[in-house]
Amino acid sequence: MRQSAYPLITAPCLKGVLEDGKNHVVIIDVRSNLVHPEKGREAYLESHIPGAVFADMETDVAGLKTGTNGRHPFPNLEAFAEKMRSFGVRKDTFVILYDGGEANFASRLWFTFRAAGHGDIRVLNGGFKAWVDAGLPVTKEIPTPIKGDFEVGEPLERVFTKEEIEKNLESGEYLLVDARSNDRFHGKNETMDPKGGHIPGAFNHPSTSNIGPDGYFLRKGELKEGFKAVLDAAAGKPIINYCGSGVTACCNHLAMEDVGIQPAGVYIGSWSEWIADPKHPLATE
């Protein structure tokens, strides 16, 4: 698997890429909301970066729900590729992703693209707000893309399964890192899932700690320092990121790759899949 050394792009840099015209660029708006996902499309229709298409986290990025495979299951990659082709993505496309600035939704789509073998992809640091704050133009015009030829290739990221996490309970080969808030990790104030707590042996690193008060990812030095406790807990073990439904985990995953930590992968089913099986142990300490 090839890691991405530069997963982020700034708004001024994106402006330059669009102006020089050397790359075939597709911009995808993946704004969403974990509680009210319809707000993402509403925001897109109100205004978006010119030329951007809209990807729905629930239907275009996540796969079909069975009731036991989590709130945002991993998609069938052939179905995902067909959707991305309809967005104009080609094999040689430079893909730019953005959300509202929290980076979770864009990171999930970034991870999915990479799991499908496409590495020429960046997440807009600061999201749509960064573009607006830079004084760059927005539009309500919805583009009509020319269908692309994107195909699923060799994966650049690893998607871990429930069965692999079950085995890890005994082997302890990997450190699980939970991206949810600390109170949810400890089974308190759980609002998203019917059971609170975490997978036994997991370590907590909320994805919100990757983002500064200005809405951008922390500078690399600060970001790396923030992961020091994670690395100490891992003690050399490879890291699997997870969260509630495989969204915020991808923000941790991207941030780790950005500072060279290179985690092993993401358990996309995450807590919402884990608790669907009553045999699975839960922890709150």
Catalytic site positions: 243
Distance between CA 130 and CA 115 in Å, rounded?
27
Sign of the CA dihedral running 222, 224, 230, 235: negative
Distance between CA 56 and CA 38 in Å, rounded?
9
Q: Is residue 73 a contact partner of residue 272, using CB atoms and an 8 Å limit?
A: no
Which among 119, 123, 118 is positioned nearest to 30, based on CA atoms?
Answer: 123
Distance between CA 100 and CA 44 in Å, rounded?
10
Phi-psi group of 281: left, alpha or beta (phi > 0 → left; psi -120 to 50 → alpha; rest → beta): beta
Cα-based angle 201, 206, 209 (whole degrees, multiple of 5): 140
Q: Which helix (H) or strand (E) holds 177?
A: strand 175-178
Residue 203 has a CB neighbour count (10 Å cut-off) of: 16
Strand-pair category, 94-98 with 121-124: parallel
Residues near 150 by Cβ (< 8 Å), separated by ≥ 6?
A: 81, 84, 85, 89, 90, 91, 93, 118
Which among 276, 282, 278 is positioned nearest to 71, based on CA atoms?
Answer: 276
